[in-house]
Amino acid sequence: MFYTLEPHLGAIEKKLANETLNKNIISTFGNNVEKFEKSFSKFTKFNYTTAMNSGTSSLHLGLKVNNVCNNDLVIIPSYTFAATANAIIYCGAKPWFHDINSENMMLDLDQVASSLEKKTYKKGNFYYHYKTKQKITCIVPVMTFGYSLNISKLLAIKKKYNINILIDSAAGHFASYDKKKLGFYNFDCCYSFNGNKNISTSSGGAFCTNNFKRNLIVKKLSKVGRVSKYNYQLVGYNYKMNNLQASLGNGQLKNVKKFLRKKKEIFSFYSKSFENFIYIKKIILEDFNNIEGWLFAVKLNPKKLNKIINFLKTKKIFLSKFWYPLHKQPPYKNFLRENLNSTIKESGKILCLPSSTFLQKKDLRYIVDKVKDFF
């Protein structure tokens, strides 16, 4: 049986988790979290990591320390997981939906630049929306399928508009741009370690930054605003990752080179297998040096999507449709939005193929054969 993505836990993760269980230190105390934070920073090349109980929590606090406040506007793609929008709403702010680039399925940075240019005005250090008068405090681009979006364009927008950028890299643990890890570029980043991600702590997340002060505040906020056991400096959140989750994370990071190698193998196998196959279109990457994403996604005729999912089910390959645009869904349908033509047109074409790092060549061959059999 094959699923889109399953956790890949080996002997070392089980050993570390068992040691933690045997020591009976399974709550938010213990050394594993700090160790995980240091190793994850080393891997992503950020100066600081704060490990939390979910990617959603890390987005929430990441937005707070990037000054997202009540009634502000935050630019995000409509094509994303709900958490990107929810974290904004938790801050009392509102998402401003933008389109995706139809090739890479990520925030259309040309449209973002154009709407900042044409639909906002500058007052003091900030940009405000002409019609709603709301302050635009942040942009949250999403690393869809775990790939990096165009960091050069993002840097140009940041420079021109001096706007905060928080990258939702929930599944982008392996993302890099121009051969450099994300920590190199100085944008704050959020990650998820949910069971379906490349690195998993069962559930979990992290906020990464190179900024000393923001790291300090997020650390404090994630630990109930404590300065000592029952003394508080801030109204904080109970968001800290626990010691048991971090033991799994420490094991996963010991295997990370193997995961990266396997991911590259899987993605190049699929890529080559569908090279001249006319029924399937591949996602066009921004950076062809970095093919190790999260999920290998392809585009199909949307009318065939349900049919192929049902067909593959009979072959024991259990897949589902991917993200459905947020602006079409009841909790988000009244928020400000730009033209979302590509979002509407492209989102219904996506099928993600099984991408777990334990898959063998014979498994991949079987999956490719069944997809081709369908057509």
Rule CB under 6 A: say whether 172 interacts with ligand PLP: no
The binding track of 225-264 with respect to ligand PLP, each residue x by CB under 6 A or -, is ----------------------------------------
Rule CB under 6 A: say whether 109 interacts with ligand PLP: no
How far is Cα 334 from Cα 320, in angstroms, rounded to an integer? Answer: 27
Place of tokens 């590509």: 342
Q: Which helix (H) or strand (E) holds 76?
A: strand 73-77
| SS3 (DSSP) at 60 | helix
Q: How is 101-168 classified by DSSP, letter by letter?
A: -TTT-SB-HHHHHHHHHHHEEEETTEEEETTT--EEEEE--B-GGG----HHHHHHHHHHH--EEEEE
Size of the site for ligand PLP (CB under 6 A): 15
Rule CB under 6 A: say whether 359 interacts with ligand PLP: no
Rule CB under 6 A: say whether 192 interacts with ligand PLP: yes
Q: Give the CA radius of gyration of the chain.
A: 21
Site for ligand PLP (CB under 6 A): which residue of 44, 56, 148, 198? 56
Give ∠ CA 126-127-133 in degrees, rounded to 5: 115
Beta carbon nearer to ligand PLP, 135 or 327: 327
Beta carbon nearer to ligand PLP, 46 or 207: 207
Question: Which of 201, 150, 153 lies closest to 176, judged by CA?
Answer: 150
Q: Which helix (H) or strand (E) holds 191?
A: strand 188-192
User: 240 forms bridges with which residues in the sheet?
Assistant: 52
CB of 174 to ligand PLP, least distance (A): 14
How far is Cα 256 from Cα 191, in angstroms, rounded to an integer? Answer: 15
DSSP state of 15: H
Rule CB under 6 A: say whether 54 interacts with ligand PLP: yes
Beta carbon nearer to ligand PLP, 120 or 354: 354
Rule CB under 6 A: say whether 188 interacts with ligand PLP: no
CB of 189 to ligand PLP, least distance (A): 11
Question: Which of 162, 166, 154, 70 lies closest to 120, judged by CA?
Answer: 162
CB of 57 to ligand PLP, least distance (A): 7
CB of 168 to ligand PLP, least distance (A): 5
Site for ligand PLP (CB under 6 A): which residue of 62, 95, 183, 205? 205
Q: How is 245-300 classified by DSSP, letter by letter?
A: HHHHHHHHHHTHHHHHHHHHHHHHHHHHHTTT-TT-EEPPPS-TT----SSEEEE-
Stretch that binds ligand PLP, among 31-39, 49-57, 100-108, 252-260 (CB under 6 A): 49-57
Q: What is the torsional sign of CA 298, 302, 304, 305?
A: positive
CB of 18 to ligand PLP, least distance (A): 24
The residue length of the chain stands at: 375
The binding track of 132-161 with respect to ligand PLP, each residue x by CB under 6 A or -, is ----------x-------------------
CB of 335 to ligand PLP, least distance (A): 17
Stretch that binds ligand PLP, among 17-25, 78-86, 128-136, 219-227 (CB under 6 A): 78-86
Binding to ligand PLP, residues 9-48 (CB under 6 A): none
How many CB atoms neighbour CB 32 within 10 A? 27
Rule CB under 6 A: say whether 168 interacts with ligand PLP: yes
Site for ligand PLP (CB under 6 A): which residue of 157, 170, 319, 364? 170
Site for ligand PLP (CB under 6 A): which residue of 41, 66, 78, 84? 84
Interface positions with ligand PLP (CB under 6 A): 54-56, 80-81, 83-84, 142, 168, 170-171, 192, 194, 203, 205
